[in-house]
Structure 1
Amino acid sequence: MFEEMERLTRVLCAEHGTSGCEDDVFEAAKRELAFCDTVTVDELSGVTGIFGNPDAKRRILLDAHIDQIGMVVTNIDENGFLRVTNVGGVDRRTMPGSPVTVYGKETLTGVVCTLPPHLMQGKEEKIKPVSEQAIDVGLSREEAEQLVSIGDRAVLTCTVRKLMGNRVSGTALDDRSGCACIIRAAQMVQEKDPDCCVMVVCSTREEVGGQGAQIRTYTLEPTEAIAVDVSFAKQPGAQNLNAELGGGPMIGFSAALDRRISKKLIRLAKENDIPYQLEAMGGRTGTNCDEIGVSRGGVRTGLISVPQRNMHTPAEVCDLEDMENIAKLIAAYIMDGKD
């Protein structure tokens, strides 16, 4: 039912792209945006596809970040273990015993070391900070130094898998799911020849500050923008959350967002029978909206979020129906000429 959305998600999540090292996933995004009139790749800001009327007064930016959290190698110790620190908000609780992919001169498979329970002598071991954990790639120090260098990246690895119903789980759904949504929306709209300029940006470095969206927004000079990221859905241990997986797009309200866009998204969801949920934030959103909205003289910006469980772990969970509905809502927004 959501074959194209699932395909896009799998293609994008299959490629490596920790913040600042997104080159591999850039190529995947570039291929998927080939239907645009122009596609450019910029190492600092990301992949941009542009179509529609380039001379139109209405210039709509669609943004989702393409980078993922991960680790960077800081040292190789005397036993050949790789010492690392985090790139973005890696959840250290998920690390011990987890499989890892290391991107050195060759792509290596490793595992995060953990002390077996038999050796803990009845004492509960606290999870160490990322910088105090180590990756075992099965090599001596001399062998490891031939293949891995300080500055190389590593990620906890779990390929995207289908769960029951419309749900998928895997690594990098934050925010490759958002990238899949904006590309899918662009596919829907491009066929209708919109009388506006549509700029689709899969941006870099959101997990370390949002620099990619900030740079690209300044260059493109949009008149309005919608960013798609992930946000928290209900799960065990977090009963205070309101959003449901499968409940539809999460439309954001915040002091950092344009209220007119948020209201318009609600109107369009109702008119097009798209289920939706509301998310209220007091100030900053923690997404690229915070950088996009203050570019140049300011950009009217809206936020739509994909409900997600297990954020910043190797087993993030999203619902393909939510993602398809986000694409439909964005497409309706682009084609609607009313405020």
Structure 2
Amino acid sequence: MDTSTMILELSQATGIVGMEAGAVKTAEKMLEGCGDCSVSALGSLICRVKTAPADKPHIMLTAHIDEIGLVVTYIDEKGFLRVSGCGGIDLGIILAAQVLVHTKQGDLPGVVCTVPPHLQPDDTKLPKVEDICIDVGLSQEQAKQKIALGDRVSFVNKAGRMLNGQVSGKAIDDRGGCTSVILAARELAKCDLDCSLTVMLSTLEEIGSQGAKTAAEEIMPTHAIVVDVAFGHTPDAPRHQCGELGKGAMIGVAPVLDNDMSRQLVETAKKHKIPYQMDVQGGRTGTDSDEVAVCGAGVRTALVSIPQKFMHTPIETVMVSDVEAVGKLMALYIKDIFGGER
């Protein structure tokens, strides 16, 4: 299976915040042969790739596997569903969106209601998530028989390949990162390492990183590399806040991140001619790094990101070469620093 296929398969798996089991199952299949897998109490996938003596370093590679979505909060007298957001939703993409309501009885197709422009008194304001309705074509009685409050709702968009090595779909934040981690794990599983190595694909990142924090407390690594996405430049975005698609891994620098690891990642990229760019932040990173770094007595943590266009929409877009660059950078860093094959 090539890298673009891996990204697309993970993208299409259902894994809304708090309901990540479908995506976890897909990722677990991709990790076959890398090590023993288990699932943490909060649903994060853990794969123990290498086990070394307790006095050796323990490296954790991690990316989050959850995706943004909606949750049903009310069914009104006409059968329309009221919802709340699971994670940060781009309000600009909600109206007229196609969705799936994931129920115990199966998935139900629906659409987000929208007022025709002819009838809108003011088309300059976007509604809040709590003000929208979803139409599933059912009466209130029928809807209550099929749908439970708390059922999750995902956005419908067929993931696909684009020109110039790009792929687009929902949940590539952070299934692209999961792909990079899996690629690194596959390579490192074949190597002799003087350290323990564990992969963790975390849940609940979009609402506070609880999945990463609790799983990291279970794993207790000495070092961690977190993979997420970062803003990829588009013509309508501020250039100084964005990376560029096609220019490789974005190596993070931030107060919570380990300066030596960031420097070593840059040195590894230069040594092996892996394309890279810098991602400098002055405070929190807004990723699992913030929680992983403060687990236990502290974890030396690095952040490597994939530049991505159209974040938190169903058309998130990345370059396959950037996903591969991140995976290659992590694998070669661990080989060089922690004694793998040269």
Give the aligned partner of residue 281 of structure 2. 281
Residue 100 in 1 paired to residue 99 in 2? yes
**Deviation per residue, 1:158-204 (Å, 9 max, x gap):** 12111101101110001111111100111111122323211000001
Structure 2 counterpart of 1:200: 199
- Aligned-residue offset at 1:70: 0.6
CA RMSD of aligned residues (A): 1.4
Q: 2:263 & 2:278 partners in 1: Cα distance?
A: 11
Contact 1:30/1:41 (<8 A) preserved: no
C-alpha contact (below 8 Å) 1:254/1:281 kept by paired residues = yes
On the 8 A contact 2:8/2:167 being kept in 1, the answer is no
* Partners of 2:9 and 2:138 in 1: CA distance: 31
Question: In 1, distance between residues paired with 2:198 and 2:66?
Answer: 18
Over residues 257-285 of structure 1, what are the superposed CA-to-partner deviations in whole Å (9 max), with x where a residue is unaligned? 00100000000000111010001100110
Aligned to 2:29: 31
Runs of 5+ unmatched residues, structure 2:
none
When structure 1 is superposed on structure 2, of 124-133 and 148-157 the one drifting more is 124-133
Matches of 2:120 and 2:301 in 1, distance apart? 52
The residue that corresponds to 2:49 in the other structure is 51
Range 315-324 or range 3-12, more displaced: 3-12
Aligned partner of 2:142 in structure 1 is 143
Amino acid at match of 1:67: D
**Partner residue in 1 for 2:318:** 318
CA distance in 2 between counterparts of 1:283 and 1:118 reads: 46
State the alpha-carbon separation in 2 of the partners of residues 178 and 302 from structure 1. Answer: 14
Q: How many residues align?
A: 336
Counterpart of 1:64? 63
Q: Which SS does the other structure have where 1:264 is aligned?
A: helix
1:127–1:246 Cα change, 3 Å: same
Q: C-alpha offsets along residues 196-222 of structure 1, whole Å, 9 cap, x if unaligned?
A: 211000001000000111011111111
Distance verdict in 2 for CA 1:43–1:67, change over 3 Å: farther
The residue type paired with residue 188 of structure 1 is E
Partner of 1:334: 334
CA distance in 2, matches of 1:129, 1:120: 16
Structure 1 residues 16, 251: CA separation in 2 closer, same or farther (over 3 Å shift)? same
Could you tell me which residue of structure 2 aligns to residue 124 of structure 1? Answer: 123
User: TM-score under structure 2 normalisation?
Assistant: 0.95
What CA deviation, in whole Å up to 9, does each residue of 1:235-294 have, x standing for no partner?
A: 021133341011100000000100100000000000111010001100110000000100
- Alpha-carbon offset, residue 338 of structure 1: 6.5
Q: Aligned-pair distance for 1:78?
A: 0.8
Q: Distance in 1 between matches of 2:202 and 2:188?
A: 20
| Aligned mates of 2:40, 2:11 — CA distance in 1 | 20
Unaligned runs of 5+ in 1: none
Q: How does 1:1-339 map to 2 (within 5 A)?
A: 4-55=2-53, 57-105=56-104, 106-120=106-120, 123-240=122-239, 241-337=241-337
**Contact kept in structure 2, 1:23 and 1:43, CA below 8 Å:** no
The 1-side partners of 2:295 and 2:246 are apart by 33
